[in-house]
Amino acid sequence: MTKESNDTTQLSILALDTCTESCSAAVCHQGNIFSEQADAPREHSQRLLPMVKSVLTDAGLKLQNVDVIAYGRGPGSFTGIRICTSITQGLALGQELPVIGISTLAAMAQSAIENGATQVLAAIDARMGEVYWGQYIAVDGLATLVNEEVVSAPADIVLSLDLTLPIAACGIGFDAYPEILAHSETISLCESAKFPEAKFMLALAQDGVNKGLSTSVDELTPVYLRDTVTWQKLPGRE
């Protein structure tokens, strides 16, 4: 568990994410952030709820005292997104808590921005020769999307950022497709933001709630970006 100070935080927000190989939970309460994270592929459903309990205990909170739950809405692993949204539903329904979805790409960008970046290209391996990607700039310390989040072949990425200034590259998409770095000489890897983490969702969630973007759990909306998935059907099941 890590504890950090964040004097700008007002609401008590629980955040959780399982949309990539990383599994994480965090809570902000009375200006402090408590968080846990683990690289735990295929163990998300077993690891997340104990993490949630741990960070709430460390913050001295009970679930019913939380103001809103922020959840990783994707893009990322289809299974990971489903785990995150289903656990969020279970937690929120029991206490009738509002929820707010936070982009995994934005969470990685926020991590880089909190470490000094002003422009970010975030990319997650989408399999099938494609990446989920988004471009962000820092506005008042928050990751702000430029244009829209996209799924495409790495070669089809078109940058709208200022190519004369440094661009931080975040995400495992760059491990799978290092050729993305060739889109600009000003792109450099940000190794500390390879996966989304719940603690970097908190500031984005606070801003989103202030803008009226939280919803009831019935309106929880995962974001896959890819509407269809291509797979090889088994013989006899065409």
> Number of folded domains in the chain?
2
Alpha-helical (H) ranges within 136-236 are 173-176, 202-210
DSSP 3-state assignment of 204? helix
Structure confidence at residue 220 (pLDDT): 94
Structure confidence at residue 227 (pLDDT): 66
Domain that holds residue 52: 2-104+196-219
pLDDT digits (tens, 9 = 90+) for 36-80: 999 988 888 899 999 999 999 999 999 999 999 999 999 999 999
> Are residues 74 and 112 located together in one domain of the fold?
no
Cβ contacts of 129 within 8 Å, gap of 6 or more: 153
Q: Is residue 76 part of a domain?
A: yes
Residue 71, token pair as written in the block: 């959840």
> Are residues 18 and 56 located together in one domain of the fold?
yes
Q: Is residue 238 part of a domain?
A: no
Which CATH number belongs to the domain containing residue 173 in this structure? 3.30.420.40
> Are residues 155 and 50 located together in one domain of the fold?
no
Structure confidence at residue 83 (pLDDT): 95
Pairing of strands 187-189, 13-17: unpaired
Residue 232 has pLDDT above 60, yes or no: no
Q: Give the integer Cα–Cα distance in Å for 135 and 220.
A: 24
Q: Give the integer Cα–Cα distance in Å for 64 and 106.
A: 27
pTM of the model: 0.91
Residue 233 has pLDDT above 90, yes or no: no
Q: Looking at 169-173, 186-190, 229-233, which range is the least confident one?
A: 229-233
Residue 14 has pLDDT above 70, yes or no: yes
DSSP 3-state assignment of 24? strand
User: What is the Cα 116 distance to its own chain's centre?
Assistant: 18
Residue 157 has pLDDT above 50, yes or no: yes
> Are residues 151 and 65 located together in one domain of the fold?
no
Contact 69, 14 (CB under 8 A): yes
> Are residues 33 and 59 located together in one domain of the fold?
yes
> Are residues 98 and 202 located together in one domain of the fold?
yes
Residue 9 has pLDDT above 80, yes or no: no
> Are residues 46 and 156 located together in one domain of the fold?
no
**pLDDT band, very low/low/confident/very high, at 195 (cuts 50, 70, 90):** very high
Structure confidence at residue 176 (pLDDT): 96
Q: Give the integer Cα–Cα distance in Å for 62 and 24.
A: 18
> Are residues 93 and 7 located together in one domain of the fold?
yes
The partner residues of 119 in beta bridges, in order of sequence, read 137
Length of the chain: 238
**pLDDT band, very low/low/confident/very high, at 99 (cuts 50, 70, 90):** very high
